[in-house]
């Protein structure tokens, strides 16, 4: 089911991942045409990501965080919507589309600066009517025909001329070890773990939940479909995430502005409270 913020889900009954295979790290680094395809699609598709706004789930998580009912937030999403909702200390397990990194010199810079350079090199290479008809994917790109991909100009790193990559963890790539250790530390310090809007199909997120369960912590899930942690969870609520979290904040007497919607694919180490 599409996310209430306007970004499609990867998985689930109608998840885009069923029809769209995202770029792997190996494909990206090994082939110039693959990189051209990625940046051409992302150049247009990022507009959908930039236009997205936090939904009721993101806002409720921030309300729970601000009131002390949640100690830390870890998200598998790369859209920055938890940060936009006010949870500025959210740990983005898989990185953020707002940054780019050079694979040659390691320089990290803002995506907005790269988009400005891509605009200068390509302009509006697809008219607005044709863009509107293209399908947006969860990782912020659009399905583009080959003729448009071939016409796109990719720009290199300004410092060393190297290959630029979004500062996100691609399929086939590992989460940086310091970030993974930090997430384990957050789980170790938590009294319980609440998983929101994730099937936990990706191992990096599942490892955190398994660690909590192994340590005897309560693991609760809110997700419409099945998850890979169903066998170790104490509870699985199969209801729309925004609705569940809004009801929770109301029961706790916490103001949570926003509209009821889908969730933020976040694993939330929570304090040991009701």
Those residues with Cβ within 8 angstroms of residue 56's Cβ, 6 or more apart along the chain or in another chain: 4, 242, 243, 245, 246, 256, 258, 259, 260, 261
Handedness of CA 17, 165, 204, 189 (dihedral sign): negative
Handedness of CA 230, 234, 238, 242 (dihedral sign): negative
C-beta separation of 73 from 91 below 8 A: yes
Would you say how long the chain is, in residues?
A: 274
Residue 94 annotated among the catalytic residues of the structure: yes
- Rounded Cα gap, residues 149 and 244, in angstroms: 42
* Helix and strand counts by DSSP (H, E) for the chain: 10, 9
Catalytic residue among 94, 182, 234, 236: 94
Those residues with Cβ within 8 angstroms of residue 63's Cβ, 6 or more apart along the chain or in another chain: 249, 254, 255, 256
- Rounded Cα gap, residues 49 and 37, in angstroms: 18
Tokens of residue 218, six digits: 């309560």
- Rounded Cα gap, residues 187 and 214, in angstroms: 11
C-beta separation of 265 from 17 below 8 A: no
Residues that are catalytic: 94
């Amino acid at each position: 089911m599409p996310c209430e913020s306007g970004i499609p889900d990867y998985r689930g009954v109608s998840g885009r991942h069923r029809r769209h295979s995202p770029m792997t790290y190996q494909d990206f680094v090994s082939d110039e045409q693959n990189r051209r395809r990625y940046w051409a699609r992302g150049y247009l598709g990022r507009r959908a990501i930039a236009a997205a706004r936090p939904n009721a789930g993101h806002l409720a998580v921030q309300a729970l965080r601000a009131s002390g009912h949640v100690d830390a937030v870890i998200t598998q999403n790369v859209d920055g919507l938890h940060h936009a909702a006010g949870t500025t200390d959210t740990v983005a397990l898989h990185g953020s589309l707002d940054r780019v990194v050079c694979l040659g010199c390691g320089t990290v810079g803002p995506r907005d600066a790269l988009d400005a350079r891509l605009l200068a090199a390509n302009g509006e290479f697809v008219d607005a009517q044709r863009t509107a008809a293209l399908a947006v994917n969860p990782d912020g790109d659009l399905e583009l025909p080959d003729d448009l991909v071939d016409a796109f100009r990719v720009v290199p790193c300004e410092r060393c001329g190297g290959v630029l990559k979004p500062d996100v963890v691609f399929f086939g790539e590992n989460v940086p070890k310091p970030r993974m250790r930090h997430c384990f530390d957050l789980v170790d310090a938590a009294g319980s773990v609440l998983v929101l809007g994730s099937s936990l199909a990706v191992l990096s997120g599942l490892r955190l939940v398994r660690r909590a369960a192994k340590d005897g912590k309560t693991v609760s899930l809110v997700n419409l479909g099945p998850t890979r942690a169903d066998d170790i969870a104490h509870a699985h609520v199969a209801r729309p995430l925004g609705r569940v979290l809004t009801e929770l904040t109301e029961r706790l007497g916490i103001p949570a502005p926003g509209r009821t919607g889908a969730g933020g694919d976040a694993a939330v180490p929570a304090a040991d409270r009701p």
